[in-house]
Each structure stands twice: as C-alpha cells, then as structure tokens.
Chain A
Amino acid sequence: MIHAQLDVELCGRLADSCGPSLRLTIPENGLPVTAMLASLARAYPAVSDALGRIRIRACINETIVSEEAVVRPGDTVALFPPVSGG
C-alpha cells in the first residue's frame, strides 16, 4: 500500500504535550477520523492521554467534521479540544 505524510495541527491544550503540529503517515486513499486519532495516539504516546480524556472534534479543510469523515493526503487537518468561548 502506498502511504503519504499528513501534518495534523493541534489546537488549544492539545498542543501542550507535543507542540502545535504532528506528522502522521496515512494510506494514500485516506483513513477515517477515528482511525487517524488511534494512529496519532500510537505514534505519539504523550498526546494519547489528552486524546482519550477529552472530547475531540476534527476539522478538515476548515470544516468541522464527524468521526466517520475521511482524511486524505493534502487535507488541512486540525484537532479541536472543547472550545472555551469569549
């Protein structure tokens, strides 16, 4: 299977443990958000605690998406912890 690199931006407190961006290798035909979160947790044990503890929303190309959405190479991907308003 051909793989591609994907940079995932971490927002808010998610960036505390590993910085604001993490690189992940994903299949060229993409993978669902839930699988991407699992891959991130495996690749970066320091963020796995935060990913499992708080409700995370994924954002693909500036749209907040469901957990079933598929992340593809070239997408702009970010993970949001709960927002804390103004």
Chain B
Amino acid sequence: MQVELAQASFDPALRLSDFTAALGDEGAVVSFTGRARGQSRGGGPMSALVLESYRGVTLQSMQVIAGDAHSMFAITASLVIHRAGRIVPSEAIVFVATASRHRRAAFEAADYLMDRLKTEAVFWKREEHGGSSTWIEPTAKDREDAMRWHERKE
C-alpha cells in the first residue's frame, strides 16, 4: 500500500508502469485516473482547479481509506496518488491502482477507493475561471456512491 500527496503534476502512465513492474504473480491490475476538465460545473470555461489540503491530516485521511480497501478486498498491492495545489485542465487530479490474484477484487477496490476519496479525503476544491473562483460543494451523488459500500459492509 502506497499513498502519496503530490504537490506537482505526475505521469499516471509512468506510475502505473512502475506499479505493475513491482508486482509478483497477480493476475489483475486495475487503474483509474481522474483528470481536471476544461469546463466548470456551471458550464463555462475553467482555467484551473485548486485543491487545498491541511498539514498531515490530508495524507492521513488518504491512508485510512487505502487501509480500509486492503481490509475489505483481496488486493495484494495498491497505489493512491492525489494532487494538491493548482491543477490545469487535462492534468491528473487523482490516480489509483490496485492489484489482485483475480480481477473482481482489483476492480471493486479501485471503485471503493475513488468513492471514499471523493467524499472523505480532506481537500477543499475550487474552480478558477477568469478572475474569480467558486468553491465546489460535496454532491449528493458522491455521497450516494460512497454509501453503497457502507450498506455492503453491514
């Protein structure tokens, strides 16, 4: 399990390649990359997304989520990278990779990691457009997605 808070842009393809090269006999590798869009939630052009984090608390929140994924699913390795700071369109915001003996665990763990990172990782996000910026609120859809796993756990 490897968890990183990145202050600068990174190459998801390179990180996936390194992750895969370090594996043993796993039969499945799943990855997901979340990228900054060029369009704001309001529909206008977006110049950048700014993610604010807080000291050690942000990384710790990501580590808890990754630890839970390892407890819930039969994955043997995971890599979670989350950007902070100013992210321009088409740059990666978040990357997760999971590996397991068979495919289902790797798929489900990646899905789970993303749902919880979206709702529980300690970040505050705003969109910059022109000379102004708008804070992004957590959405009901994101919360619903994360709740699926709570129901399943019970």
Q: Smallest CB-CB separation from A57: which chain B residue?
A: B122
Partner of B51, one of A9, A59, A62, A86: A86
Residue interface bits A74-86, CB-to-B below 8 A is 1, else 0: 0010101111111
The reply to whether A86 and B57 contact each other, CB–CB distance below 8 Å, is: no
Any chain B CB within 8 A of the CB of A18? no
B93 contacts which of A64, A82, A86 (Cβ < 8 Å)? A86
Query: For the complex, is A3 an interface residue (Cβ under 8 Å from B)?
Result: no
Cα distance A11–B50 when bound, in Å? Answer: 13
Does A13 touch B at the CB level, under 8 Å? yes
How far does the alpha carbon of A70 sit from the alpha carbon of B10 in the complex, in Å? 40
List residues of chain A with CB within 8 A of the CB of B34.
86
Specify which chain A residues have a CB less than 8 angstroms from the CB of B122 in the assembled complex. 80, 83
Assess the B124–A83 pair: CB atoms within 8 A: yes
A84 engages B135 (CB within 8 Å): yes
Contacts of A13 in B (CB 8 A): 124, 135
Q: Which of A11, A82, A84, A86 contacts B54 (CB 8 A)?
A: A11
Assembled-state Cα–Cα distance A78/B82 (Å): 22
| 12 A-B contact pairs sorted by A residue (CB < 8 Å) | A12-B135, A62-B57, A76-B55, A81-B124, A82-B137, A82-B138, A83-B119, A84-B124, A86-B34, A86-B51, A86-B118, A86-B121
Type the 1/0 row for A42-86, where 1 means its CB is closer than 8 Å to any CB of B: 000000000000000001001110000000000010101111111
Interface of B is mostly: mixed
Tell me whether A11 and B118 are in contact (CB under 8 A): no
How many inter-chain contacts with C-beta < 8 Å in the A-B complex? 59
Interface size on B, residues (CB 8 A): 26
List the B residue with the shortest CB-CB distance to A59.
B57
Residues B79-119 near A (CB distance < 8 A): 82-83, 93-94, 117-119
Q: How far is the CA of A9 from the CA of B57 in the complex (A)?
A: 14
| Contact among A11, A62, A80, A84 with B138 in the assembled complex (CB-CB below 8 Å) | A84
Say whether B60 contacts A84, CB under 8 Å.
no
Minimum distance in angstroms from A64 CB to a CB of chain B: 7
Contacts of A84 in B (CB 8 A): 123-125, 135-138
